[in-house]
Amino acid sequence: MSNFEVFSTDSRSAARRGLLTTACGEVETPVFVPVGTAGVVKGITPQQLKETGTVLVLANTYHLLLRPGVETVEKLGGLHKLMAWSAPILTDSGGYQIFSLSPLTKIDDDGVEFASHIDGATIYLNAEVATKIQNRLGADIIMCFDQCTPFPCSESQLTKAVERTIHWAKRAKQAHNNAEQLLFGIVQGGINLPLREQCALELVKLDFDGYAIGGLSVGEGHENMMRTVSHTTRILPQDKPRYLMGVGTPANIVAAVKAGVDMFDCVLPTRNGRNAFAFTENGPLRLRNNMYITDTLPIEAGCDCYCCRNFSRAALRHFFNVGEMLGPILVSLHNLRFYQRLMAKIRQVLKENRFADWAEEQLRK
């Protein structure tokens, strides 16, 4: 039985609306997944997160491996218990953080030896180890170990990374031993379309529960990203979820849904929220600006989030100005709700078969 069902498609684009079934519940797609790096979305309680409309949250394998450690998570009853989150959880493989945060000491076809960014301790990860760690953490959706590449990147580097990603995906599939977890393969290849195609075709042969598009939003720009995404989604199976990792802005999300993507994760709502940057339908507000000193309006009229129902722009500016921790929490809450309202709207216009016109209007904005 398939874990993913497509309910409706857009007649003028590749956009679709579906339902992903996991061990801990159902997820309507397209879906946005907030990032809870160390087992918590920064400054947000699980109850608050639920109230934003969030149904799936991401935790970071690399960070949890370093602190508190897999054994500790197990002793505490698993990741759901640690996070006090009974709904679905997704963990990444740790591959991206190894390549972005740590000075590498050694990488070969077997795996990666790296220095912890906390204390410099040497740690070894490969496809089997990363998969078994995620099996033990107990998330509902887990990711294959892959090799991310920077942008720009030489063709020879990209080719090697794609070969390793395919090789490691085969080993991850073999090592995966928790039938309750869905395992996703990750397509790499930078913005090189033939390499993306090669990687996607080889991963499809392995019949994963879903497929992620990794290695984007690293400086390649919107047009390169969307060309790569559109090319890749056409190769991936219609009956499996497609997940664009680490993306993105509201415009990127609308464009990627149009290209056939079902799932997104990004730190933008909370990272920007902690820096007084609020998303609205009419563009961002930078709440530290003096223009908001006596502004009695909420961040966004019509928003039903806790922040907009109770606080003015002036109050938020004051909180940031005096270093009050409530400011970052409130704007993070608003931004998370903004993203979840955006996804709900996307699902609604898809249901009504008017996504294409709506998306064009949003992208013009």
Q: Which residues are catalytic?
A: 92, 265
Which residues lie below 8 Å from residue 279, measured CB to CB, with a gap of 6+?
Answer: 250, 269, 272, 334, 335, 338, 339
Dist CA 344 CA 349 (whole Å): 9
User: Token pair 């219609």 is at which residue?
Assistant: 238
Q: Give CA–CA dist 257/143, Å, rounded.
A: 21
Q: How far is CA 215 from the centre of its chain?
A: 12
The Cα–Cα gap between 114 and 125 comes to: 8
Q: What contacts 72, CB < 8 A, 6 or more positions away?
A: none
Which residue, among 113, 119, 112, 117, has the nearest Cα to 101 in the 3D structure? 117
Beta pairing partners, 36: 59
DSSP letter, residue 221: -
Q: Are 220 and 191 in contact (CB under 8 A)?
A: yes
Distances (CA, A) of 117 to 48, 62, 98, 101, 243: 31, 10, 9, 7, 28
| 102 backbone φψ class: left, alpha, beta (φ>0; ψ -120 to 50) | beta
DSSP for residue 86: -
The DSSP code for 146 is -
Beta strands in 154-222 (DSSP E): 182-187, 210-213
Distance CA 29, CA 27 (A): 6
Q: How far apart are CA 346 and CA 110, in angstroms?
A: 41
Return d(Cα 333, Cα 13) in angstroms, integer.
32
As given in the structure block, the two tokens for residue 270 are 């909370």
Q: What is the token pair recorded at 265?
A: 């994760």
